[in-house]
Every structure is written in C-alpha cells, then in structure tokens.
Amino acid sequence: MGKERIEQRFTEKLANGEKLFIPYIMAGDGGLDVLEERIRFLTECGVAAIELGIPFSDPTADGPTIQKAGIRALKNGTTLAAVLEMLESFKTRREVPIILMTYINPIFHYGLERFAEACVRAGVDGVIIPDVPLEEEDLIAGFLRKNGIAFIRLVALTSPKERVVEIARRSEGFLYAVSVMGTTGVRQHHDEHVKAYLQTLKDISAVPVLAGFGVSNGEQARDLGAYCDGVIVGSKIVDLFNEGKIKEIQELIEESLMTRSKA
C-alpha cells in the first residue's frame, strides 16, 4: 500500500523493459458511479497507475479541458470526502496504485492530517498537489510521510538546476516532469529542448521520471518516453471518456506502450 506499492509496481514494469503509462481521469466526471468501472478498464489496458483528479473551483494549473471536466464533476456534487469514500468501497478490488491530484484548498479544508489518514483507509497510494511548491510543502509533507503516502513532486522547465536537484531528492514514487510552459492540455508538439530536460532529470533523479502536460497521443508518448520512464496523459483521456470513445483510449494506451523500434 501507499508509496511502497507504487515503487514495487514501477520497479517491476521497468525491470520488464516496459515504459510507465499513467492516465489522468477526473473523479465525478460522468458521476462517481462510473469510477470503479473506469479504473478497472484502465487497469486492463496495462497502465502503471491512475492519476485521479479531485475537482477544484479554481484549477490554475489546468487548461480548458480539465477545467470543464472539473466543472462537470462539481455540478455532479463531487467532493473530496465522497471520492475518498467511494475509493474505500472498492479498494480490495483494485490492482493499480491510485494517485490523487488536487489543489491544496480542498485538502486544507478537509484537514491535512485527516486527509492523509483518509488516504490510507481509501487505499490511495500517492498525492500530487500542483499548487504547493517546495517552499510551502511542510504544510502537508509530514502527514503524508507518517501515513506512507507518496508525495509526488513536480518539476518545471523553468526550475533551475539546484531546485531540480532538491525537488528530485524529495520526490516519492516518481518525479513529475511538467513538460510544457503553461497549463495542462493537448499540444501539437513539444519543444526539442524538452528532451534534453527529461534527459537531465533522468540523470539527476533516483526515482522514475514521468513526463506530463501536453502529451496526447501514442507518438508523443513514445517520443518523450524514450528520454524518461514514461508519460502521464490527462486532457486527451478526459475528453475521450467524456465522448464515450472507450476504444480509442485503449488504442492510445497500446500505442503509447508499443516498443519503440530503436535504431
């Protein structure tokens, strides 16, 4: 459970020569009832873990797709408490690590320590909080550590070397490499220097490095994945679920995980 479960699963996959694929889905988008089914489906697609977004009224790190998904989820009455309860109800039926992604205010309001403890009960393995930088993380890091929940840190293209080193040193489970300048959302391509950035992170980080933000198809996933340990795909998957294009999600994941015929 928790941090160890992520480490174990990632280590196994990487040892098998597989890349790691993490899809992002918005909890409560389409109703909380579909959550178990979506998680099962993604598990069958061979994902390494699932990043589960908790909607927030002011998601400043997110682009239009996830903003809209958040609004749909909030309109459905989705709350952090309800998601944790739902996760607890089928935790014995899950095989992949669950990583919650939300902003600090809903957690702060729920209670920081109470949240960390509830994560354990709900079978949550890791947490990503995009609006808590290094300088502010003491607010919550201790509670997560005490409860064995992986606190996954984000590093950005603007982070200078010394910050990268410190963030990578602290990150648990994996290091989340934000690979665009800006918010989440589909991009046509990534700048060439992103590859050098990922390569640098790989050299520095003791935990696996995954590229996220702007990754939306198999080709991009393989392209960036070649320079790190895998990718996180959010907006595209959120869109496909919303449009009911389940088969395309499966194809996207398969294409992303195809072994790259390397020269």
Partner 1 sequence: MPELLMPALLELEEVYETAKNDPAFLQQVEYYLKQYVGRETPLYFAEQLTKKLGGPQIYLKREDLNHTGAHKINNTIGQALLTLRMGKKKVVAETGAGQHGVATATVCALFGLECIVFMGVEDIERQKLNVFRMEMLGAEVRGVSSGSGTLKDATNEALRYWAAHVTDTHYILGSAVGPHPFPLIVRDFQSVIGKETKRQIVEQTGKLPDAVVACVGGGSNSIGMFYPFIEDESVKLYGVEAAGKGVDTNLHAATLTKGDVGILHGTLSKLLQDEHGQVTEAFSISAGLDYPGVGPEHSHLHETKRVTYEAVTDEEALDAFQFLTKTEGIIPALESAHAVAYAVKLAKTMSSDETMVICLSGRGDKDVEQVKSRLEGR
Nearer to partner 1, 96 or 129 (CB): 129
Work out which of 181, 226, 246, 258 binds partner 1, going by CB under 8 A. 181
Note whether 159 binds partner 1 by CB under 8 A.
yes
The whole-angstrom separation of Cα 66 and Cα 174 is: 22
The whole-angstrom separation of Cα 115 and Cα 103 is: 13
Q: Which residues are catalytic?
A: 51, 62
Query: What separation in angstroms does the CA of 125 have from each of 73, 149, 159, 244?
Result: 22, 5, 26, 28
Work out which of 1, 104, 165, 204 binds partner 1, going by CB under 8 A. 104
Note whether 178 binds partner 1 by CB under 8 A.
yes
Note whether 89 binds partner 1 by CB under 8 A.
no
Q: Six-digit token pair at 225?
A: 């994945």
In degrees and rounded to multiples of 5, residue 112 shows phi and psi of -65, -45
DSSP strand E in the chain: where? Answer: 20-26, 50-53, 98-101, 126-128, 150-152, 154-155, 175-178, 209-212, 230-233
Nearer to partner 1, 8 or 105 (CB): 105
**Cβ proximity of 47 and 230 under 8 Å:** no
Note whether 33 binds partner 1 by CB under 8 A.
no
Note whether 130 binds partner 1 by CB under 8 A.
yes
Note whether 110 binds partner 1 by CB under 8 A.
yes
Q: Six-digit token pair at 158?
A: 């603007």
Q: Is 232 helix (H, G, I), strand (E, B) or coil?
A: strand
Nearer to partner 1, 96 or 132 (CB): 132
Nearest to 50 by CA among 115, 96, 116: 96
Note whether 226 binds partner 1 by CB under 8 A.
no
CB of 20 to partner 1, least distance (A): 21
Work out which of 37, 60, 75, 258 binds partner 1, going by CB under 8 A. 60
Note whether 134 binds partner 1 by CB under 8 A.
yes
Nearer to partner 1, 67 or 220 (CB): 67
Instruction: Identify which range of 11-19, 57-65, 120-128, 141-149 contacts partner 1 by CB under 8 A.
Output: 57-65
CB of 127 to partner 1, least distance (A): 15
In degrees and rounded to multiples of 5, residue 19 shows phi and psi of -90, 160
CB of 48 to partner 1, least distance (A): 22
Instruction: Identify which range of 38-46, 79-87, 144-152, 188-196 contacts partner 1 by CB under 8 A.
Output: 79-87
Question: What count of other Cβ atoms lies within 10 Å of the Cβ of residue 8?
Answer: 11
**Cβ proximity of 164 and 155 under 8 Å:** yes
Query: What separation in angstroms does the CA of 150 have from each of 2, 13, 210?
Result: 6, 18, 15
Work out which of 44, 121, 146, 182 binds partner 1, going by CB under 8 A. 182
Note whether 131 binds partner 1 by CB under 8 A.
yes
Q: Is 172 helix (H, G, I), strand (E, B) or coil?
A: coil
Site for partner 1, rule CB under 8 A? 56-61, 63, 67, 74, 79-81, 104-110, 130-131, 133-136, 153-160, 163, 167, 178, 180-183
